Amino acid sequence: MPSVDHDIKDLALAEQGSRLIEWADRDMPVLREIRARFEQEQPFQGIRISACLHVTTETANLMRALKAGGAEVVLCASNPLSTQDEVAAALVAEYDIAVFAISGEDEDTYYRHIVAAVDHRPHLTVDDGADLIGLIHSTRRELLDSVIAGLEETTTGVIRLRAMEFDGVLGFPIIAVNEAQSKHLFDNRYGTGQSAVDGILRATNALLAGSTFVVAGYGWCGRGVAERARGMGSHVIVLEVDPLRALQAAMDGFRVMTAEQAAPLGDIFCTATGGKQVLRGEHFARMKDGAIIANAGHFNVEIDLPALRELAVSSSTPRPFVEQFTLPSGNHLNLLADGRLINLVAAEGHPASVMDMSFANQALSAEYAVKQAGTLENRVYVVPPEIDVEIARLKLASLKIEIDVLSEEQQRYLKSWSEGT
């Protein structure tokens, strides 16, 4: 029997999970290098870390790096549908890491698992959507003082934490890992771009070539999805509410219009806004028979699910991850993955190579937070630029890409105002 606490689906899946974790590890050279250094330097001796992340192979490698650095680590899921049960089993059985996560867990179990991670009395929290931080601030306030810092992985989490900072209710410092350039410029764009399209294809086997693909939101995730859908031959329409981003989409060559205008044109819809009720009843009523609707944003509120259910006269499940609604008009609409993150539910989330950089940010930010313990205020901090640049440097080196270096004269020139005028 494993020595660590756990609530997972099946320990017998551990061997398969280990193989998959090792497979991902091969594509995570930056995190591997950090893990090797952590093993030597032990920056997390005596530190308890609670992580609430998608339980995937890449997350497993982050947990390994933190544990190698001496931390006592507990992991729960940041989404009830994204857990890879074999990974959870391997972490418990092969890597002695406590895990509380079962794919498809109901809401009660999901929250019970978050409570279990908080019961670990963390010095550091690692969140993807601020669930641990939310729980500690609402019902476990006695723990606030012992938390050195919280690390936040995603855009939506950072927005919430900034709102808490603004309201003066943040009880410990936060490092907004999402804001690192070596995170969102790559993970959100190339990671979500590829894996959201992957999830839609795995769920439906639809042909993208020649289809009309509507992307809501032209942030880092949305532009990734739009670029990849175009790359596979779709005619891409972008929906935006921000004039600057809408203009960028238009000048990047996409058609830009309102949701109402796009509703009857789209074959596939994918939301990636971080907002709510982006696709609503009035849009569903105008959509084509057979339209596919998916979401890549953090919460399952971007597609107005109650409105869709209310509008429908019946529903069925023709394929895994596809719920087909029949509308009074006789049209069918196909909702994917219950409106949750399509890339994590129907596919495997981001490729390891891009999570290498995101989780290198988590690992180095955790080390930074511990070194700075007691000196940070209860504010949202960005990842220090030295860490950001170092991760890009390590990634380039792992890709065997060399770049030029500025001479002293060039550096002087770039900082001066007197030359060349």
Ligand X SMILES: NC(=O)c1ccc[n+]([C@@H]2O[C@H](COP(=O)([O-])OP(=O)(O)OC[C@H]3O[C@@H](n4cnc5c(N)ncnc54)[C@H](O)[C@@H]3O)[C@@H](O)[C@H]2O)c1
Provide the binding-site residues for ligand X, judged by CB under 6 A. 154-156, 184, 188, 192, 216-222, 239-242, 245, 272-275, 278, 296-298, 341, 343-344
Q: Are strands 332-336 and 322-326 parallel, antiparallel or unpaired?
A: antiparallel
DSSP H helices, 27-84, are 29-41, 57-68
Nearer to ligand X, 35 or 189 (CB): 189
Nearer to ligand X, 2 or 297 (CB): 297
Which residue is at the shortest CB distance from ligand X? 219
Least distance CB 93 / ligand X (angstroms)? 27
**Calpha distance 409→400 (Å, rounded):** 27
Give 414-417 contacts, CB < 8 A, sequence gap 24+. Answer: none
Least distance CB 271 / ligand X (angstroms)? 8
Nearer to ligand X, 67 or 350 (CB): 350
**Calpha distance 316→325 (Å, rounded):** 7
Among all chains, which residue has been given the structure tokens 């049960």? 85
Nearer to ligand X, 95 or 220 (CB): 220
**Calpha distance 177→382 (Å, rounded):** 7
Nearer to ligand X, 159 or 206 (CB): 159
Least distance CB 299 / ligand X (angstroms)? 7
Least distance CB 102 / ligand X (angstroms)? 20
Least distance CB 383 / ligand X (angstroms)? 15
DSSP H helices, 2-46, are 14-26, 29-41
Structure tokens that stand for 147 in this block: 């938390």
Cα-based distances in Å from 62 to 49, 52, 115, 365, 370: 12, 12, 21, 12, 17
Helices 131-138 and 107-118 pack at an angle, to 10 degrees, of 70
Least distance CB 72 / ligand X (angstroms)? 27
Nearer to ligand X, 172 or 190 (CB): 190
